[in-house]
Chain A
Amino acid sequence: MLDTSKGGFTPEKQAPSPLDYFKSAISDEIRYVSEQKDAGRGIVGFYCEFTPRDLIMAAGATPICLCGTSQNTISHAEALLPSNLCPLIKSSFGYALTGGCPLLNDSDLLVAETTCDGKKKMYEILSRDKNMHVLELTQKSDKERAFKHWLAEVEELKQKLEQTFQVDITEQKLRAAIKSMNEERRLILAIQELGQHKPAIVSGYEIAQTRYRVAGFSKHHEQMKSFLDMAENRLTQGYQAAPADAPRVLLTGCPTGHGTEKLIEIIEECGGVVVVQEACSGIKGVYEEVSEQGDPLEAIARKHFNIPCSCMTPNKGREDLLRKLARDYQADAVIDLVWQACHTYNVESVLINEFVRNELGLAYLKVETDYSSSDREQLKVRVQTLLELAQ
């Protein structure tokens, strides 16, 4: 039954400093990276969760996720790339063309990956001007021979890093990097897990704000801890980020980022609350740690090999993760975000739709859109209908 109040729920105003920090963290990151560079530290930009940050850190370099989330750079990218390509590829490429991203400009090496055909070919164009290393992802994630190939790719990246930065990546350095990246992953995971509270103490929009680009930056770690403290305070004060009966949405599919929270905003404006994002901008990259036992390089390769991305076939891991998240976060509905022209997520949605409805027994909606806001009102019709049905 319909209970969506007009214009959605407006939580009481607080002054959440860690939130303000993350909203403008990019400027701190730019300053930090520039200082690191001046101090002679290597800077490595990358575009995808499959890239092992642990390995880059073991090389004594700073890893930066450069994934493009700005509508503004897209028109520049379309000067070369076809317009019917996913906005993430176009935005990333647009940053490279315009030189508008200081983090990218500061990168000594770019690590790319073969997650999709569009990216793969875009990287070839980019490699004309940038020092680029491409990781070849294997696609049959249930086969050990695929893992062996992936391990060889990770080993090759290790050699590339050693050559580029004239370092020796020892087992000891690998173990130390794994340990510190695992700590960072645990912090990110703890923030994601705040969504398990019912009624919600943080909104999906707030959690999405904590996404950042530069790994191993201690200021981020401190701010994540204050974010957790803030949530703890909210809990003791009985603060609610959404009404107790707000439909709880599990968001899956393509990643969001700063400036592309459109769907999260729409869901929350329509009276729902995004309790968890299954995407790599949410929990996908952090729900599993790198094992601190056994061979460290193999452990790094294994953790990343297990990421349930739609570029894998079959991608059963995504269903397993969705099942776990639906239960742990008490989801009422699943919304599947597909960036326009992301073929693998778009086609996989047929299977996810059936899985969510038949096996999880939850309402499901696929939303195919891009970074622009021109379809906001139309998306609201769909989302509001789903939320009314889920109540």
Chain B
Amino acid sequence: MITCGVDIGSRTIKVVIFDGQNIIDSATTLSGAAPRDNAERLYLEMLAANHCTQSDIAMTVATGYGRNYFELADKVSSEIICHTAGVAFLCPQVRTIIDIGGQDSKVVQVSAEGKVADFVMNDRCAAGTGKFIEMVAHTLNMSLEETGTAALSCDEICEVSSMCAVFAESEVIGLLHKGVPPEVILRGVFRSVAKRVVSLGRKLGFAEPIVFTGGVAQNPGVLEAIRVQVGDPSVEIPSNPQLTGSLGAAIIGQQIATKKLQ
């Protein structure tokens, strides 16, 4: 049985086609100014590329911020539920998920059955999320990829106290004027991002194994900072951390479709 998961996030759209065992295909695109249209286009292109039509898909589940507006979906499910299902599929032992996306960060406590036991999420402010890191990269005139490698290349660190995407910019500019090298600033920025998400999740505790997901998990500099802040060098990222939400949506689709058949 084939199901499809569509994760329409604040920054990117992710689509996964799944047969219950394996990811058959996956694709991502930017959400842009017309996320609903972009999601529809990517979804239909994916189906065409895999020589299937909508009727071949047993169930399409949408998740992410655009989930309620994606009309081709049969069901919607929250991204917390979907990310957890996706991560638990890839790493069945997982007990804690740290997820940092484009505009929010979450910590999920996972039960022994691989389900959400409890969760916390940041407030409306984008502090300490992917958007914040994008802003810093822009200020430093670097690509997102470069920020990760630059931070890992250095041992020094400086204090970046502001977490606000607006105020941090002036703090970063101030540090640059003082002559602090960009990679040192980046380590400081990543540490403050890690500190924020770790303090967010402290009320749930960080039972191991811990898995780090979301678009920001692709940044090795942030991964390193999370490992230090949580005090666990074994924090892992799934092979494609950006896809766990859409994979989870496809898994939820498998569960619903199976239930329907019974």
What is A's interface to B at a CB cutoff of 8 Å? Answer: 1-2, 4-7, 368, 374-375, 377-378, 380-382, 384-385, 388-389
Contact = CB atoms under 8 A, between A and B. Distances in A.
Contact of A388 (B62, B71, B77, B124): B77
Interface string B53-97: 000000001100100100101011111110000000000000000
B259 A388 contact: no
B256 A375 contact: no
B123 A381 contact: no
Contacts of A384: 76-78
Interface in B217-262: 252, 255-256, 259
B121 interface: yes
A5 B75 contact: yes
Given A1-B259, A375-B123, A382-B121, A6 B80 contact: no
A362 B116 CA distance: 14
B104 interface: yes
A381 B80 contact: yes
A4 B61 CA distance: 11
B190 to A, nearest CB: 24
A2 B75 CA distance: 8
A385 B119 contact: yes
Interface of B: 61-62, 65, 68, 71, 73, 75-81, 104, 115-116, 119, 121, 123-124, 252, 255-256, 259
Given A7-B68, A385-B78, A378 B119 contact: no
A385 B119 CA distance: 9
B78 A388 contact: yes
A127 B13 CA distance: 55
Given A374-B124, A378-B121, A381-B121, A6 B78 contact: no
Contacts of A368: 123
Given A385-B81, A389-B116, A378 B124 contact: yes
A378 B125 CA distance: 10
B75 A4 contact: yes
Contacts of A378: 104, 121, 123-124
A385 B116 contact: yes
A378 B103 CA distance: 10
Given A2-B77, A388-B78, A389-B116, 19 more contacts: A2-B61, A2-B75, A2-B81, A4-B75, A4-B76, A375-B124, A377-B65, A378-B104, A378-B123, A378-B124, A381-B78, A381-B79, A381-B80, A382-B121, A384-B76, A384-B78, A385-B78, A385-B119, A388-B77
B172 to A, nearest CB: 26
Nearest to A381: B78
Contacts of B77: 2, 4, 384, 388
Contacts of A389: 81, 115-116
